[in-house]
Structure 1
Amino acid sequence: LPVRAELDEKEEFPWSIIKNLADTDLMGVYIPEEYGGLGGGCFELCLVIEELSRVCAGVAVSYAASSLGSLALLEYGSEKLKNKYLPDIAIGKKLSAFAITEETAGSDASSIKTTASRTDGGYLINGSKQFITNGGEADLYTVVVLTDKERGSRGASVFLVEKGYPGFSFGRKEKKMGIRTSATRELVFEDCLVPEENLIGREGMGFPMVMRLFDRSRPGIGAQAVGLAQGALEAAVDYAKKRNQFGQPIISF
């Protein structure tokens, strides 16, 4: 990925690389064949994440975040939602994101405050999400909210929200020390109307679903670490072969 340094320096989202991944069918490696994917599983997904991490952590994070954003739909979505969205995700036409973190809800995800209340034609979402990977760039957002505030985390539900829905906007883009080609933004919901059919699973089942999704996604974090370590080792070995001291490459010492 020769453009990675330039993309990172400019904090530019790697759309050209995402397109290359789509052209080689890798955006749909984990999506079943009946929805246009390659039909792979966790292992195949981790192979892609590891190889991307070896050359660019930002691209790998964006790719992995899109897969996490699609997992709820894959695991718990209705057939109508799957048929509507998964084919476009599989060919890279749509990018996904996962949104649970808030100002007061990070490691303690059960303390979220964003709500969804029933209304004619669906639900109104109000609140905000912070530090969302692919924020502002993704087309589809898996958003965890409270449909019953009185029940706390047992009143959480999951919705699929499209970019462009009225009442859904993006706040500040975070300035980061690294992994800058991956966008990290705030999501803002102000009476955002989401169709009832975009509820993933059942009301109140959000947290059991999310915990299972996190378990499914954790091997990908390990794959990122392995890929980064491999890339660092390769860079160090390459430098040691080229750097000369006392008349010989330092790798020979």
Structure 2
Amino acid sequence: MSLFTGTSGYYRQYRPGIPDDLARRLARYAPDHAPRRLLDVGTGTGLVAEALMPHFDDIIACDNDPDMIATAEAALRPNIPEGSTLTLVTSTAEDFRPPAGWKADLVTICRAFHWLDQPAVLALLDSQVAKNGAVAVFSDRSFWAAESDWKAAVKQVIRDFLGEERRAGGGTFQHHNRPYSEIMEESPFNQVEEFTIPVTRQWNTAGILGYLYSTSFAASGLFGDRLGEFETAVQKTLRDFSDDDTFHETNEFLVRVGRRSTA
């Protein structure tokens, strides 16, 4: 199975999008001219493209999963502002090529950089980004980070069913030990600014399960005929942490924005 087989519906419904203040701040890195062009790499179901749609009038979004692209198409196409253009492309970041002469004012890579050949993609983007454009790499903390008691308990249930190592589709997750800022500083976009945007969220059990089924480490297909047993175990575990099925999360987006050196 691929990393996200069977997850697109869950991803669209249960993955949190990016907050409006982050969208506005990212948009300020793009030169203010027309057309204002965005390239969203690893778009998934289009959550970032959707958040930035008010700030750009020419958007290309790519993802290597055709189900993700189809879900993004259905969600975003009816809401495109008049006069704007949205193009959705099924492609890996490494293979993507924009139309001749098309250059992005901003590239966004959200929750996807760890899956990419990072140096190769950043080098490729050098020919796809406008002279004064920028590349933004960002993510909030994964559920797997488990910084709260209830998350840690659910994470242990996942491990009980799927093993101690974090899954990534049919394989295991390969951790990256270098900060993304260091990788970007070795790329054409070597002038890197880093900042955080805090977020707070409120979950219930159904939302937590839906989120888990949107991930590569707990996609529903990984559980086979034990899926019902897994759901029951999660529900039982969460009851120990809330009497009203409410679970609070404090998280943050860590953002790195790279530009080319002007020297």
TM-score w.r.t. structure 1 length?
Answer: 0.28
Q: TM-score, normalised by structure 2?
A: 0.27
**Larger Rg, first or second structure (1 or 2):** 1
Instruction: Identify, as 1 or 2, the structure richer in helix.
Output: 1
